[in-house]
Amino acid sequence: MRIVLIGAPGAGKGTYAQYFREKYCIPHISTGDIFREEISKNTDLGRLAKTYIDRGELVPDDIVNNIVKTRLSQPDVERGFILDGYPRTIVQAVYLDTLVNIDAVIHLIVSEEVAVKRLSGRRTCPICNRVYNIYFEPKPINDEICDYDGAKLVKRKDDEPDIVRNRYRVFYETFKPILDYYRSKNILIEIDANRSIREVAPELENILITRNILKIKPCKPDVKPG
Ligand code: AMP
């Protein structure tokens, strides 16, 4: 199951990726997370990426492409993977096609208003990157604390409403050509993600099974969405 997940800020991308990762034991590969990790470790790559990210610019295609190539050559992608935040340019999309056959591109559609509401409650674990929401599912069992490692959850600076509205617009400017590219290849699945993940996840799994994309059995069948 080789999937690209596309969704505006607040669509729930991280939550869906986490659900699929846990239930099917396939890695969630987020180029943004890879950069954040490299930055926190202060590596050469991290310092270089930071110069672009801090200016609100995309990291150049050749750097991102190389990272994804290396990541997709690791053995844990054998059962499949979920790519998130990549591709972001047509150059990256064309390059990705030279690396692997993507089975489906899932576009989680969310309205701007729902996005703003969701992101004001979003919290992330700085250790394991699990994503929670203090207003919606999945809520942490204890306020502001990660269920798994007890770390204090953090709020991203760019989750403030005005910044979210701007990110939402920039998202569609950036991803429209990518969505068109995959639509023309007939592998784009668009789903209404204004609803809760409890409703959307089974629908999405059914679509993937019907199209013979989801062929692997869950490694943890008891994982529930949300
Ligand atoms: P994200 O968490 O996906 O929003 O990524 C955070 C930042 O990392 C972005 O704003 C970009 O500067 C950079 N980045 C992540 N993925 C890519 C990509 N595929 N191409 C270029 N830059 C990227």
Q: From the CB of 35, is ligand 1 less than 6 Å away? A: yes
Among 28, 29, 35, the mutation site with the greatest number of ligand 1 atoms within 8 A of its Cβ is 35
- Where are the domains positioned within the chain? 2-110+172-210
Q: From the CB of 124, is ligand 1 less than 6 Å away? A: no
Rounded distance between C-alpha atoms, residue 192 and residue 159, angstroms: 21
Among 37, 53, 63, the mutation site with the greatest number of ligand 1 atoms within 8 A of its Cβ is 53
> With contact defined as beta carbons under 8 Å apart, do 8 and 114 qualify?
no
pLDDT of residue 137: 79
What backbone phi and psi angles, to 5 degrees, belong to 182? Answer: -75, -30
Rounded distance between C-alpha atoms, residue 204 and residue 218, angstroms: 15
Q: Which residue has the tokens 């994804």?
A: 68
Using alpha carbons only, what angle is made at residue 96 by residues 1 and 158, rounded to the nearest 5 degrees? 85
> Please, what sign has the CA dihedral across residues 58, 93, 72, 98?
negative
pLDDT of residue 39: 96
Q: How deeply is 121 buried, as exposed, middle or buried, from its count of CB atoms within 10 A (0-12, 13-18, 19+)? A: middle
User: Is-catalytic flag, 152?
Assistant: no
What backbone phi and psi angles, to 5 degrees, belong to 83? Answer: -90, 135
Residue of the CA atom closest to atom 15 of ligand 1: 32
Joined tokens for residue 79 = 């059962």
Residue of the CA atom closest to atom 14 of ligand 1: 32
pLDDT of residue 56: 83
Of the candidates 68, 52, 26, the residue with the CA atom closest to the CA atom of residue 214: 26
Q: Report the SS3 class of residue 193.
A: coil
Q: How deeply is 142 buried, as exposed, middle or buried, from its count of CB atoms within 10 A (0-12, 13-18, 19+)? A: exposed
Using alpha carbons only, what angle is made at residue 193 by residues 188 and 194, rounded to the nearest 5 degrees? 145
DSSP symbol at 135? S
Q: From the CB of 46, is ligand 1 less than 6 Å away? A: no
> With contact defined as beta carbons under 8 Å apart, do 29 and 83 qualify?
yes
**Per residue of the chain (226 residues), what is the pLDDT tens digit?**
999 999 999 898 988 998 999 999 999 999 999 999 999 999 999 999 999 999 989 999 999 999 999 999 999 999 999 999 999 999 999 999 999 999 999 999 999 999 998 888 989 999 998 888 888 878 999 989 999 999 999 998 888 889 899 999 999 999 999 999 999 999 999 999 999 889 999 999 999 999 999 999 999 888 888 6
Q: Report the SS3 class of residue 84.
A: strand
User: Is-catalytic flag, 21?
Assistant: no
> With contact defined as beta carbons under 8 Å apart, do 144 and 123 qualify?
yes
CATH 3.40.50.300 fits 2-110+172-210, yes or no: yes
Which ligand 1 atom is nearest residue 86's CA?
19
